[in-house]
Structure 1
Amino acid sequence: MNSLRAVAAVAATAVSVSLSAPAAAYPVDCAILLCLAGGWPASAECAHARAVFIARITPWPVEPPLQIWNCPMRASLNRETSPMERLFEIVLQHEGGPRPQSSVESSSELYLAQDQADVDISGPAYDFVRSIHVFQIEYRRHRNRDGDCNTWSTIREGTYGEQGDFAWARSTPAQVPSASAFRPGTSCSDYWFRGVFVDWTDYEGTYGFEEVRY
């Protein structure tokens, strides 16, 4: 299929993910990757994938919402298909049960990369992975009895590298996207905020975000 949104929609319809199924029985990060790329199509399957995506940024601890290294994208031997089409096949294969495999395919399916994708995702087709940003925000401000304005903040930003590797770095209030409810302003009024914000753009460039206050 030419449209990744259409692939994700088909995957969401075709794949039956049971919330009670053992985690190891289904590569949920493959579903997250497909559903995120396709703009989170309306389905029980993508709802489950999105719930896992959001649960991972719900303290504690705060985890990478997409853990692409847990999705065996190298599993298919059919090199005529695109990586996203192979991903679609993997999702269906895990849900639909075993199918005939060569010994090479069986062994390659066991391979998982260490903290990054197991195939090359450096091309623009996977920019939606690198569009994901996570902000963990803790901010406090008050004026003391002497009239001094005291501000304390710890903000860190999580980003994805070229191959889907995730890393944290220090950030500042100015870097927090405007879609967040974080609004410290410029006055010295008492203000307290604590939460985790994640945003992204899907394959077609549509913006999305979620925020968890705690």
Structure 2
Amino acid sequence: MKHTRLASLALAAGLTVDAQQAHAYDMDCAIMLCMAGGFPSSAVCSAAYAEMIRRITPWPSRPPFGVCTYAAVPVALGGPGGEDALDISTADYEWLRRTRVLWWRGRSYEPRDEPRQWDWSIRSCDHENKNCHYIVRVYGSHSPWPASFASENGQDIPTPGSGGLWAFYSRAVMMEYGDYDGAMDYTDWVRY
């Protein structure tokens, strides 16, 4: 009897760990599927959107989505029955590879005996939040940063505001993503 209880507890603990791991993989698939649809209104897509933003919000910053293992789900459970993770390098997933993580940094200051100056930069990273490069970098401008900028995907994206009358430093992160049909969209800026 004692061994039966112990075995039952061990089995329950193992199922809990497997369920938590499966839930994490399910979230990656949900992020990709909801992104493909432009994050339609639903409880699942709202949770997927929130998780995506949580992942890119520092620190530590991670990729907005991980490997979707839906391809490895057995046919008996409704999956395609593959052995590997979903391969997003094919032409069908070009829309997903257009995802960019955009990092904003801006400041305003008054050097001694000079008028106010502004510095700002926008760094763009790929869908894995790696391979980053600056798409805009301005130092010592005598005019404030622009109200918007053109992204690598051709969108006109508004820059974050200054954060108030006395805020002279601003950092924020956002995501630019496309849906399955190729329409581009972006998230709100998240300050950190």
Q: Is TM > 0.5 for Structure 1 vs Structure 2?
A: yes
Contact 2:108 2:118 in 1 (8 A): yes
Higher strand share: 2
User: CA 1:24–1:77 in 2, change beyond 3 Å: closer, same or farther?
Assistant: closer
The residue type paired with residue 29 of structure 1 is D
48-57 or 142-151: bigger deviation = 142-151
Larger Rg: 2
Contact 1:156 1:168 in 2 (8 A): no
* Residue number in structure 2 paired with 1:53: 52
Cα deviations across residues 106-165 of structure 1 (Å, max 9, x unaligned)?
A: xx3xx55xxxxx525321x212211211111112122212216655445421113xxxx5
How far apart in 2 are the matches of 1:167 and 1:52?
19
State the secondary structure of the residue aligned to 1:56. Answer: helix
1:146 paired residue among 104, 108, 113:
113
2:72 paired residue among 71, 75, 80:
75
TM-score (norm 1): 0.58
Residue 131 of structure 2 corresponds to residue 168 of structure 1:
yes
How far apart in 1 are the matches of 2:40 and 2:150?
29
How far apart in 2 are the matches of 1:119 and 1:195?
31
The residue type paired with residue 72 of structure 2 is A
Contact 1:33 1:66 in 2 (8 A): yes
Please list every run of 5 or more consecutive structure 2 residues that lacks an aligned counterpart in the other structure.
1-17, 138-148
User: CA 1:145–1:137 in 2, change beyond 3 Å: closer, same or farther?
Assistant: same
Report how far residue 213 of structure 1 moved: 1.7
The residue type paired with residue 158 of structure 1 is C
How far apart in 2 are the matches of 1:205 and 1:158?
19
How far apart in 2 are the matches of 1:121 and 1:25?
23
Q: How does 1:1-214 map to 2 (within 5 A)?
A: 23-26=20-23, 27=25, 28-67=27-66, 69=67, 71-75=68-72, 89-90=78-79, 108=83, 111=84, 118-119=86-87, 121-123=89-91, 125-147=92-114, 150-153=117-120, 155-160=122-127, 165-171=128-134, 172-173=136-137, 178-182=156-160, 192-210=169-187, 211-214=189-192
Contact 1:138 1:155 in 2 (8 A): yes
Give 4+ residue runs of structure 1 displaced > 6 Å after superposition. Answer: none
User: CA 1:38–1:64 in 2, change beyond 3 Å: closer, same or farther?
Assistant: same
Root-mean-square deviation (CA), in Å? Answer: 3.3
How far apart in 1 are the matches of 2:61 and 2:101?
9
How far apart in 2 are the matches of 1:120 and 1:63?
18
Contact 1:136 1:196 in 2 (8 A): yes
Report how far residue 73 of structure 1 moved: 4.2
The residue type paired with residue 212 of structure 1 is V
Identical counterparts, % of pairs: 28
Cα deviations across residues 22-58 of structure 1 (Å, max 9, x unaligned)?
A: 6413221011111111122221111111110111122
* Residue number in structure 2 paired with 1:14: none
Contact 2:88 2:96 in 1 (8 A): no
Q: Size of the alignment, in residue pairs? A: 152
Please list every run of 5 or more consecutive structure 1 residues that lacks an aligned counterpart in the other structure.
1-20, 79-87, 94-100, 113-117, 185-189
